[in-house]
Amino acid sequence: MIDLRSDTVTKPSEAMRRAMAQAEVGDDVFGDDPTVNRLQERACEVFEKEAALWVPTGCMGNEIAVKVHTKPGHEIVTEDRGHILNYELGAAAVISGVTIRAVKSSNGSGHLTWDEIEPALKIDPPYFQAATGLICLENTHNFAGGSVMTAAACADVCERSHAVGLPVHMDGARIFNASVALNESVADLTRGCDSVMFTLSKGLGVPAGSILLGTKEFIQEARIWRKRLGGGMRQIGILAAAGLIALDEGPQRLAQDHANARALAEGLAEIKGISINVETVVTNIVIFDISGTGRTSAEIVSMLKDNGILAIGFGNLIRMVTHLDVSADQISETVNALKAAC
């Protein structure tokens, strides 16, 4: 199978499995797991933040951040296609009691500028409006096709948000992909953000786990919410051991995933009926429009599946994600299968 549904399907390497088998462990709810503690410290160094907390999933990391930064009745701002708004099952409403103000990015990149955010804000609003409590950014932007936000663009939003008293959370599930594509450090890409979540379980190849970062105070509060949500786990040094390898060795191979995605996009652009802007494919996500083929995305996805290729279709779009378990040869195979299917 060539599984292009997501980079979450990646399997741990031999080195990771060995490290997991040998991991020193303890009860992390008591703060006693030495491997988890080492991973959290390493994440703080890499991101240049005060404190870090291992969380079971990226969704939990995002939702804890929303909870700690806001009060019930607040409104939070996300981009129109953002993960927190669209793919977390209304958790911000359920857990934090907040509503979400969706803002469209005018250039389609998925990354909001201050000029786009500011009109949506309600600072000291009249008593019939909900006050804004948080700005959420996403880098790379998943459903805008893995697009990247530069350090300068992020710093600008953070600076102006802070000037009006608003915190900024970065959904950095794939922040290392952005870092590799832009050649800017993850520390620079998240410098002004009050909290950052990144996943270990996507392109970095760990079976499970994400990290939430922020100030000591923020993480103290986050730890309480992690327990409340059922995310206080015990001997998770077994997972953190893979995380340590991922943090140090994972990012350097993401460039290969990006090259594969670009090659895939170039191949797709040649197929009649498929529409894709190759220039926008800068990381590992390829989203293309199939309306010109006269077939539905469900039909094409099903034909691909018959050829051992998995992808996700929604509406007129199909999404393919490259990762460490997909080779350059498999990309050519995929392009050929699509040509036949279309």
Q: Which of 145/237 has CB closer to ligand PLP?
A: 145
- Smallest separation, CB 220 to ligand PLP (Å): 23
Please identify which residue in the block is written with the tokens 């608003």: 166
Q: Which residue is nearest to ligand PLP (CB)?
A: 58
- What minimum distance in Å lies between the beta carbon of 83 and ligand PLP? 4
* Footprint on residues 198-217 left by ligand PLP (CB under 6 A): 199, 201, 210
Q: Which of 101, 192, 113 has the alpha carbon at shortest distance from 155?
A: 192
Stretch 99-138 residues interacting with ligand PLP (CB under 6 A): 138
Nearer to ligand PLP by Cβ, of 28 and 138: the residue is 138
Q: Which is nearer to ligand PLP, 135 or 271 (CB)?
A: 135
Shortest separation between residue 144's beta carbon and ligand PLP, angstroms: 10
- The token duo for 120 is 């949506």
Token readout for 64 is 């804890």
Residue 228, C-beta contacts closer than 8 angstroms, at least 6 positions apart: none
Compute the distance between CA of residue 295 and CA of residue 341 in angstroms, rounded to an integer. 9
Phi (first) and psi of residue 282, to 5 degrees: -115, -10
Residues 181-200 that bind ligand PLP (CB under 6 A): 199
Q: Which residues contact 57 (CB under 8 A, 6 or more apart)?
A: 199, 201, 208, 210
**Range list of H helices, the chain:** 14-22, 34-47, 58-69, 83-86, 91, 114-117, 151-163, 175-182, 186-189, 216-228, 237-249, 254-269, 297-306, 328-341
Smallest distance, ligand PLP to C-beta of residue 127, A: 34
Best CA proximity match to 101, nearest among 72, 123, 130, 127: 130
Residue 326 in contact with ligand PLP, rule: CB under 6 A: no
With respect to ligand PLP, which residue has the nearer C-beta, 161 or 201? 201
Considering the complex, state which of residue 240 and residue 274 has its C-beta at the smaller distance from ligand PLP: 240
To the nearest whole angstrom, how small is the minimum distance from the Cβ of residue 276 to ligand PLP?
Answer: 20
The mark string for 67-96 relative to ligand PLP (x by CB under 6 A, - otherwise) is ----------------x-------------
What CA–CA distance (Å, rounded) separates 58 from 200? 9
Considering only residues 157 to 186 of the shown chain, the ones binding ligand PLP according to CB under 6 A are: 171, 173
Nearer to ligand PLP, 210 or 322 (CB): 210
SS3 content of the chain, % helix, strand, coil (to 5): 45, 15, 35
Of the residues 58, 146, 203, 205, which one makes contact with ligand PLP according to CB under 6 A: 58
CB of 196 to ligand PLP, least distance (A): 12
Q: Which of 142, 179, 293, 297 binds ligand PLP (CB under 6 A)?
A: 142
Residue 143 phi, psi (nearest 5): -90, 5
57 binds ligand PLP (CB under 6 A): yes
Provide the 3-class DSSP secondary structure of residue 170: strand
Q: How many chain residues are in contact with ligand PLP, going by CB under 6 A?
A: 12
Residue 59 sits in the site that holds ligand PLP (CB under 6 A): yes
- The distance of closest approach from Cβ of residue 139 to ligand PLP in the complex, given in angstroms and rounded to an integer, is 9
140 cis-preceded (ω within 30 degrees of 0): yes
Cα–Cα distance between 315 and 290 in angstroms, integer?
9
Chain residues that interact with ligand PLP, rule: CB under 6 A: 57-59, 62, 83, 138, 142, 171, 173, 199, 201, 210
